[in-house]
Amino acid sequence: MKELAELLKMKNLKVTPQRLAIFHMLCNTTEHPSAESIYKSLESLHPTMSLATVYKTLDALKKVDLVQELNVGEDSFRYDAKIHCHPHVICIHCHEVQDLDTDILSDVRERIAHTTEFELVSEKLYFYGICPSCKSIEK
Amino acid sequence: MKELAELLKMKNLKVTPQRLAIFHMLCNTTEHPSAESIYKSLESLHPTMSLATVYKTLDALKKVDLVQELNVGEDSFRYDAKIHCHPHVICIHCHEVQDLDTDILSDVRERIAHTTEFELVSEKLYFYGICPSCKSIEK
DNA sequence: ATAAATGCAAAACCTTTGCACGCCT
DNA sequence: AGGCGTGCAAAGGTTTTGCATTTAT
């Protein structure tokens, strides 16, 4: 947990229990939670924390590149502590979001930069499908 | 314009001036407009049309696969009359959204399907960067 | 001590919904 | 004639904001 506090300090963010809790939660989940689910999951340990604080904290972490905001096409955003650009696979049944940590896009990226003459800075790739466990349930 | 009416009929949607206007506008722009900008761009020709109708129409067109909804990471959705899955390039300065109509992802898609065991049904790929004209302005 | 973060409530924003009216087929 | 589409207004949900209080450095 200490490292997280250091990271926050390095980014000139004050270290508060709320920030640590949110950041810690995000670093230790593979769920890609929304602000609402972060709030709910911390409710028992931080009963006085408000949803506004969750949003403000996520915004602060986002600005210093400690978390990234995902827009998988739902009503609300999801958050990911891994800021390295990576594709995601989303199950259209159970809404699980999985990371793909490969850099499979590098050649595609180059080709696009070349044809569009854009100076590319980032990308978001979402694959939608049915995960193995939902596939087996369906049958 | 006639073809558009035919398309609507084929999908069992009643042909109304509002629907034609919205569909026609979407088919003849490369702007990937939001509901709001569709509404504004039709204001002069259809002064009585309500924003709710725009949303309802887009929803109807979406359901019969005549338009697709894009979530490029802004507050609101954008709409595209091309329903074939294709990547987009978005300029982070002028917010222009360009289509990439290649199928550059096919090999990547296969690799992901193999490693995750997902049954993939669709994907969204957004590249973010600076477009040629914004690049030249910056200098 | 100072500046920043929190928590609450209210506001803002986009989108959806309910319902009466009108139009298309 | 019947049903679907429209328009208005209100509601819904997510996110942001203002402000007084508390907290971190």
Taking 3-state DSSP, the helix, strand and coil percentages for chain A, each rounded to the nearest 5, stand at 40, 20, 40
Last residue of a domain, one of B45, B60, B80: B80
Q: Which of A106-115, B1-10, B83-92 has the lowest mean pLDDT?
A: B1-10
Do B86 and B68 form a contact (C-beta atoms < 8 A)?
Answer: no
> Does A76 lie in the same domain as A97?
no
Which CATH number covers residue A47? 1.10.10.10
> Does B72 lie in the same domain as B25?
yes
Which CATH number covers residue B128? 3.30.1490.190
User: Which of B69, B74, B86, B119 is best to mutate for the A interface (most A CBs within 10 A)?
Assistant: B119
> Does B53 lie in the same domain as B31?
yes
* Angstrom distances, CA of residue A57 to CA of A13, A16, A44, A50: 10, 10, 18, 11
> Does B114 lie in the same domain as B74?
no
pLDDT at A138: 65
- Closest Cα partner for A82 from A96, A94, A97, A65? A65
| pLDDT band per the 50, 70, 90 thresholds, residue A1 | very low
pLDDT digits (tens, 9 = 90+) for A29-52: 988 999 999 999 999 999 999 999
pLDDT digits (tens, 9 = 90+) for A56-91: 999 999 999 999 998 887 889 999 997 777 889 999
Phi first, then psi, for residue B82 (nearest 5°) are -85, 115
Which range marks the domain in which residue B104 is found? 88-138
Residue A2 has pLDDT above 60, yes or no: no
SS3 A5: helix
> Does B115 lie in the same domain as B47?
no
- Closest Cα partner for B19 from B47, B48, B60? B60
pLDDT digits (tens, 9 = 90+) for B13-26: 999 999 999 999 99
> Does B42 lie in the same domain as B22?
yes
Using an 8 Å CB-CB cutoff, list chain A residues near B89. Answer: 112, 116, 118, 120
Mean pLDDT, rounded, for B73-79: 88
Phi first, then psi, for residue B72 (nearest 5°) are -85, 0
> Does A58 lie in the same domain as A20?
yes
**Using CA atoms, how far apart are residues B49 and B61, in angstroms rounded to an integer?**
17
Last residue of a domain, one of A30, A60, A80: A80
Using an 8 Å CB-CB cutoff, list chain B residues near A91. Answer: 118
**Using CA atoms, how far apart are residues A31 and A13, in angstroms rounded to an integer?**
25
Residue B37 has pLDDT above 50, yes or no: yes
Do A58 and A98 form a contact (C-beta atoms < 8 A)?
Answer: no
Q: Give the total number of structural domains in chain A.
A: 2
Q: Is the CB of A35 under 7 A from strand D?
A: yes
